[in-house]
A and B are shown apart, each in its own frame.
Chain A
Amino acid sequence: MQSEVLIEAEKLTKKFGDLVAVDGISFKILKGECFGFLGPNGAGKTTTMKMIHCVLPSTMGELTVAGMDVARNGREIRQMIGVAPQEDNLDPDFTVFHNLIVYARYFDISKAEAKKRADELLNFVQLEEKRDVIIEHLSVGMKRRLILARALLNEPQILILDEPTTGLDPQARHLIWSKIRSLQKQGVTIVLTTHYMDEAAKLCDRLIIMDRGKIIEEGNPPDLVKKHVGEEVLEVAHDEKVMRLLQETFQGARLEVVGEKIHVFTNKSRGVFAQMLREVPFKEAVIRDANLEDVFLKLTGRRLRK
């Protein structure tokens, strides 16, 4: 069955003066999937999100949401999208409940319906006990959950989550993840940016990796891992002799020195490292599953970004 394309970008470009924030990217997001935008800071993820929900006009290229052009149908598109931004922009003058009521008004939701939805959503994000608390008395995690609830007030078909779990403790992250999964089950299309690779691997059906405004890779997480870093990674203590031995043993493998360790990536099948360690017991040797973080660092490098 051919899935319906909900969001489509064709050579989408955004310039701020001389700075090219998004550089001619093309992608298709299908209805009902969880689609991730990964990339280091400054890659252009948030800029792309803002163009999708029509608060930032594009400089060049095409962008349609549900078949509508973002330049012409901004209002209609924003009516069907829920946005949970990176930063806390809750209204500090209001209580938790009143934040939702005021926000519902912007979507022309009637007062009675707004109250009903607000209570349901507070229940959904487990904030019912904080219903009448002023925003400044909430923890960071509670604010994130409230922002998620606010993004769901208009019963959106598309939910945009810009770094939904940045700065949260593990409990709060897991709660947000479980909510995202249950929303996807209800048929909501999720568009998410993150720089947590475990988050992307857990949630995303497909993702693109961006760097400096361009898409440098796309696919589903397991395929990307297999393609770029194989199935397993061997980490051993760094030593010149060990390095030479590894180079001889694993010809064609990628050897990377990371701090005090050597990381060995190979496209050979699972088990080759274990077999080798039985013959040559290296110091501090660890075999682990290859993951998306390995892919990300391979593609975007280890240099720090501004």
Chain B
Amino acid sequence: MKLSNVPSHFRIPKLSYRVWKVWMRDRDVLMKTYKTTFLPPLLEPILYLLAMGFGLGGFVQLIDGESYIQFIAPALVAVSMMFSSFFECTYGSFVRMYYQKTFDAIIATPVSLEEVIAGEILWGATKSLINSTIVLGVIAAFGLTPSPLFLLIPPISFLVGLLFAAIAMCFTAISPTINSFEYPTFLFITPMFLLSGTFFPLTALPASLQILAQLFLPLTHAVTLARGLVLGRLELTLLLNLAWLLLVTPFFFVLSINLMKKRLIK
């Protein structure tokens, strides 16, 4: 990156209420296809709970006084926030941008490109909210939500979704083809899925890796928050997790919009 490019990557975009028109377009598509799109978030956590919770969990000793299934249940909620928003704004947005030319059609109207991208990211965050709430419902049905504080998770899922959608949009802006998403998925999403305190406590990792995970893996913060709220263990450090998300999200949000402008407006 040239030094002279730096400011333009972080120029604050001009946005208006029209962002929601883009969001509404994506919502309309979901409403037409909900029968197929709502099924995976419903069935996937059930599979994980059965296989890892009941199956694997039988061989695992209690973690912090919790059964293994209770330990992973809130993590599954956090993981669904990541997957739904990240894939919505990589594969989903790429298809709309590149194959369907939907962005081209919209920017020929008073809606600007900045607003299109912002609307897409808000939609990605909404997908996180929808999918993780379904997963939350599933774990509640399994009796794995001991504290009523779990009701605070949906608003947090929107914030987590916003972050992953914005990160995804950065990759979309720089990916030459749709196959390029294999890289961030394999190098970023999958390690995070495994190493963010999801299936075992972060403290089991070497100290240096623990620090790296806390500094650079957004999912660790989502998992910690979800677990704290589901188990009703309110600690002050949860505010740090929240602060991390609140600080990093605007950074990627602004960056992704500017990267997309560079890609699409020559």
Contact = CB atoms under 8 A, between A and B. Distances in A.
Please indicate whether A and B come from the same complex rather than being unrelated chains: yes
Interface of A: 16, 53, 55-57, 74-76, 78-79, 81, 83, 85, 87-94, 98, 102-103, 105-108, 154
B109 A107 contact: yes
B32 A103 contact: no
B204 interface: no
B19 to A, nearest CB: 11
Nearest to B105: A89
A94 B32 contact: yes
17 contacts: A16-B266, A53-B108, A55-B104, A55-B108, A55-B265, A56-B265, A76-B110, A78-B110, A81-B108, A85-B101, A91-B25, A92-B100, A102-B24, A103-B105, A105-B25, A108-B110, A154-B109
Contact of B28 (A74, A90, A98, A108): A98
Interface string B31-72: 011000000000000000000000000000000000000000
B79 to A, nearest CB: 27
Interface in B105-119: 105-113
A78 B109 contact: yes
Contact of A106 (B101, B106, B266): B106
Interface string B86-114: 00000000000000111011111111110
Given A56-B265, A89-B100, A106-B21, A78 B28 contact: no
B18 interface: yes
B105 A56 contact: no
Interface of B: 18, 21, 24-25, 28-29, 32-33, 100-102, 104-113, 265-266
Contacts of B29: 91, 93-94
A214 to B, nearest CB: 20
B236 to A, nearest CB: 45
Counting from the closest, the 4 A-B pairs by CB-CB distance are A89-B101, A106-B109, A89-B105, A83-B108
Given A16-B266, A88-B101, 10 more contacts: A75-B110, A83-B108, A87-B101, A90-B105, A91-B100, A91-B102, A91-B105, A103-B109, A106-B18, A107-B109
Contacts of A108: 110
Contacts of A88: 101
Consensus secondary structure, chain A interface = loop
Given A94-B28, A94-B32, A89 B104 contact: yes
B95 to A, nearest CB: 10
A159 to B, nearest CB: 12
B238 to A, nearest CB: 39
A75 B112 contact: yes
A55 B102 contact: no
B265 A57 contact: yes
A154 B111 CA distance: 13
B109 A89 contact: no
A108 B266 CA distance: 28
